[in-house]
Amino acid sequence: MSTPSGDARAAEECVAVACLALPDEAQVERLTCSSPKHAPDLLARVQGSGAGRLLLLGHLDTVVAHDGHRPLAREAGGEKLRGSGTIDMKGGVVLALEVLRALAERPEGFAEVALLLVNDEEWRTAPFAHAARFRGWEGCLCFEAGERSDGDEAVVVRRKAAGAVEVTAVGRAAHAGSAPDLGRNALLALAAIAKRLTGLHDPAGPDRRTVVPSVMRAGEALNVVPPRGDLLVDVRADRLEALAPVLDAVPPELDGVRLGARQIRSWPGMDTEAVMAPALEGASARAGRPIVAAERGGASDASHFAPAIERTVDGLGPRGGGAHQPDEFVRRNSVRPRMEVALALAAELLSL
């Protein structure tokens, strides 16, 4: 289904389909989304008679606009399921739903298992709203795309901090033909700033910082010097503090154009490698093959939960590729082994 962030109607349709796949025992709540003007998030809870509480986590929103959406199709040969949002992260949502259904059949093994599916992960700039509710739970499994490491099934225990910097520019309009030099070109100023900020891109440096200008908007008409505009820059690093130099590199003025900069997104990093090591060892024994730790640069809602749920792990989804592109894909032969990894970790965290 096509569910770009911010389309509440599309999100509601997707939530309805997800609810059809819930176990009969699930109690459904709709939580106010962290981002305004988004459909409420979906929380499905299954109560058990045992001990231990486990959260399954995913998101329903995608980045591809409706007009670029590619419906799901099986490629010739059947090895790939290709379609927009399949790997980020509808494939993971399917596995999360199936894990919930499998656990619901053994209610004696837990006190509660919950599935949280949010509708704003791809474009959230507001503070995340839900982590505190689950503080102290035994574990959190997030179902972003899976991967392998040296042939072994891997899960993600480390992620970079992620931020977004917005640069605004206010210049002066003028006729582009008869009086161009009377204007102050906001577009050119933003282009210069974009190039300046990429000078801070240093993925091999001590903070492994990446700086990627990603969106620029400026101009009102073909024959007018652009009087205003804005630039968005994606910034990642091991520490949130390493994002500050990017803000500091924006001057208050450039070539007569006034500039302003602010951080509009601030997601923490995640490092649960040490605390998850015993659980990965136990899950490996349950699965009968190694499940190893990995790290990833992309942001995820798992990072918001790690401070509240000590044993948080990500990358439980199927393997695939092409994330954030219309022709994303899931590898069909990865679905079963990734399901086995998720069930082994769930059993270990709940001590089933």
d(CA 139, CA 136): 8
Q: Which of 21, 12, 15 is nearest to 117 (CA)?
A: 15
Binning pLDDT at 50, 70 and 90, where does residue 46 land?
very high
Fold of 161-267: Alpha-Beta Plaits (3.30.70)
Taking only the tens place, the pLDDT of each residue in 102-152 is: 999 999 999 999 999 999 999 898 999 999 999 999 999 999 999 999 999
The answer to whether the predicted template modeling score (pTM) of the entire model surpasses 0.85 is yes
Q: Where in the chain are all domains bearing CATH 3.40.630.10? A: 8-160+269-350
Torsion of CA 308, 309, 312, 314, to 10 degrees: -50
In single-letter form, the type of residue at position 218 comes to A
Q: Give the C-alpha separation, 298 to 157, whole Å.
A: 12
Q: What pLDDT, on a 0 to 100 scale, did the predictor assign at position 153?
A: 97
Whole-number Cα distances in Å, 20 to 25, 76, 311 = 12, 29, 29
Half-sphere exposure of 161 (CA within 13 A, CB side): 15
Is the model's pLDDT at 297 over the cut of 90? no
Give, in words, the CATH class of 8-160+269-350.
alpha beta
Q: Spell out the alpha helix ranges (H) of 147-205.
A: 186-198
pLDDT of the residue at 77 = 83
Tens of pLDDT, residue by residue over 328-339, are: 999 999 999 999
Contact 171, 228 (CB under 8 A): yes
* Residue 138 and residue 310 in contact, taking contact as beta carbons nearer than 8 Å: no
Close Cβ partners of 88 (under 8 Å, ≥ 6 residues apart): 62, 63, 144, 145, 323, 324, 328
**What percentage of the chain has pLDDT greater than the value 90?**
95
Determine the Cα–Cα distance for residues 337 and 346; give it in Å rounded to an integer: 14
Q: What is the pLDDT of residue 298?
A: 78
Residue ranges matching CATH 3.30.70.360 in the chain: 161-267
